[in-house]
Chains A and B, each alone.
Chain A
Amino acid sequence: MTADRAALGVALPLARPPRSLWGDAWRQFRSHRLALAGSFVLAVLVLGTLVGPYIYRVPTNDIDFTRVLSGPSLEHPFGTDELGRDILARALQGGRVSIAVGIAAVSVGITLGVLIGAIAGFFARADGPLMRLTDMFISLPDLPLLLLVIMLFRDSLRGLLGPVTGIFVLIVVLIGALNWMGVARLVRAAFLSLKQREFVVAARVVGASDGRLISHHILPNALGPVIVSATIGVGGAIITESALSFLGLGFPPGEPTWGRLLFEAQSHLDTAPHFAIFPGLLISLTVLSINYIGDGLRDALDPRRTP
């Protein structure tokens, strides 16, 4: 082939390496400076909460009444709380839980959303009822409902799975169960337009089963918006979990998630502002970087915007 063309004297632009969808997306993402900065900040925060406690070896539950609510110092960079415990150590430990809740809840939500959206978009008979269900879930007031369910089921799950695992599972499942609607709509819309396309019809003619059509041919082409929505969803789930803890209805006192720290800091605002500011900044920075990453991904994965 190459030889033929060379014989014909056609100059080939061989210097340019082959371009792939993901390569293009990465190039586009790199040009979004704020998204890159967001990825860097998020990487630091995630690594900090994962590795931090092994490097910064100050105990999280060391009660010391001689240094209650003291401001930031060399010994305690984030200061101490109302029992003299080190806030940095607690924030590092709590951040793990906050981030883990965010990722786990979004996994639940995305799984539900992709499943429901794919069924509604692929099987015309299921479309009507499933979309009615989606519309109804969109009208649900999520925070009040979350609070109602947590109030009713907290104690029995605590008894079943232990105080931390129980509430973790409850919060993750609930946030996931209340946040799949956007993804379901995106996936359904993508399925409706993709299933009529030639490559899908061709695959069907060759004898591909419904399951194979969905998982190998249609779904991979519908993933772009799902990835963006998942990214932003992690930020939203972290805010929801923090809001629950901030209202005193999330994790138990032993688990210093960022929202829980803010809840404890609320009553000491006048004497110890550092207590509220550091955990609050951590939540805000995390969500801000996640949202900037989502913004960059949206530009990168939307083929219409790629020049």
Chain B
Amino acid sequence: MGRYILRRLIISVPTLMGISLIIFVILALAPGDPLSQFANNPEVPIEVRERVRTSLGLDDPVHVRYVKWVSQLMQGDLGYSFATRSSVTGLILQRLPNTLAILGVAFVIGVALAIPIGILSAVKRYSLFDHSATTIAFIGFSVPSFFTGLVLILIFSVNLRWFPFIYDSTVVVRDLPSLAAQVRQSIMPIAILTLIYAATTMRYVRAEMLENMPQDYVRTARAKGLGSGTVVRRHVLRNSLIPVITLVALGIPNIFTGAVITEQIFSVPGIGHLLILSISTADTPVVMAVTFIFAVLVVVFNLVADVLYAVADPRIRYS
């Protein structure tokens, strides 16, 4: 197992290199030399500018700049923000926990809802439960998250006044009231993301269950006298979840898209919110770094999915 994980880790290096190359080429092709804004600032005297340009290596050939950028990246140095003059790594580390917390909770709840609902839908195909579940799932993944978000705000913040619609980042969980405040302000962002994950995952689970149920091995299991609950749990479900893991992994980039939008709607101070903020101030180093961090997260979660796949499917050998 350890060797398998190591092998997968090594395979993801070229992917990350490719992604970093894409981001770098986009910036190199961009008009107006966006990375050297500071070095081109006319208020800075020419000699200082020249020194800054040399120290930043802006006059080096493109491939040299790329190698320098990547080696800095690998040391965790993402440069400095134009807007705040603080280190980009610091800015991201400060906000990443918020994003991961909301994404993680939503993901766990979403999957925990999707698997039982998907199973029940498939087992009781064409029942009232199946029809309502598939319809809700269909709506859940068709209606864009920014509209679901606005509707939730309309219902729960404007009309019912249950939850605040602006996320207050100064809340620190110390006692029961502050915990309650934190929970109340997290419910709506988490609910939107949960709906998306649950809807897509439930459809996959249902489809895979239906694919497996008429198969011969299921009939064999029944024929040897297993109860239908055992057949579904031990035989059908296990085989159905294997492709579901792949499908969920393929949707991981979308998960982060949802996070950017949700953070923006509720002003949750995560990296998605940071991304939009830095775009409005043309803070290129931050935008570039956040884009790259999103790519790293996608690759990492794909890796996790691959490892889970190997755990779930005994046919995969770790050689």
B154 within 8 A of A: yes
Q: Are B142 and A288 in contact (CB under 8 A)?
A: yes
Distance of A138 Cα from B14 Cα, bound (Å): 14
Smallest CB–CB gap between A226 and chain B, Å? 18
CB within 8 Å for A269 and B142 given contacts A138-B250, A147-B287: no
For the complex, would chain A's binding face be called helix, strand, loop or mixed by DSSP majority? Answer: helix
- Give the B interface residue count (CB, 8 A): 51
Cα distance A149–B25 in the bound complex, in angstroms? 11
Q: How large is the interface on A (under 10, 10 to 19, 20 to 34, 35 or more residues)?
A: 35 or more
**Given A141-B294, A151-B279, are A284 and B147 neighbors across the interface (CB < 8 Å)?**
yes
In chain A between 213 and 255, which residues have their CB closer than 8 angstroms to a CB of chain B? 235, 239, 242-243, 246-249
Segment 18-45 of B: residues with Cβ below 8 Å from A: 18-19, 22-23, 26-27, 30-32, 34
Which label, helix, strand, loop or mixed, suits the secondary structure of the B interface? helix
Flag if B138 contacts A145 (CB, 8 Å): no
Asked if A243 and B154 make an inter-chain contact with CB atoms under 8 angstroms apart, the answer reads: no
The yes or no answer to B290 lying at the interface (CB within 8 A) is yes
Query: Which residue of B19, B144, B264 is within 8 Å of A239 (Cβ)?
Result: B144
Interface stretch (choices B64-72, B90-98, B221-229, B295-303): B295-303
B15 touches A135 (CB 8 A): yes
B302 touches A139 (CB 8 A): yes
Chain A residue contacts of B117, Cβ below 8 A: none
Name which residue of chain A comes closest to B154, CB basis. A273
Judge whether A136 and B253 touch: CB under 8 Å: no
B288 touches A243 (CB 8 A): no
Q: Which residues of the partner chain B approach A277 to less than 8 Å between Cβ atoms?
A: 151, 154
Judge whether B102 is part of the interface by a CB distance below 8 angstroms: no
Query: A143 in the interface, Cβ–Cβ < 8 Å?
Result: yes
Residues of A within 8 A of B288 (CB): 148
B279 touches A288 (CB 8 A): no
- B19–A140 CB distance below 8 A: yes
Q: Which residue of B lies closest to A232 (CB)?
A: B142
Q: Is residue B139 contacting chain A, with contact meaning CB distance below 8 A?
A: yes
| Stretch touching chain A among B1-9, B80-88, B105-113, B254-262 | B254-262
Known pairs A136-B15, A136-B19, A262-B147. 14 more at Cβ < 8 A? A139-B15, A141-B291, A142-B254, A143-B257, A144-B290, A148-B288, A152-B26, A152-B27, A156-B31, A266-B265, A269-B153, A283-B143, A287-B142, A287-B144
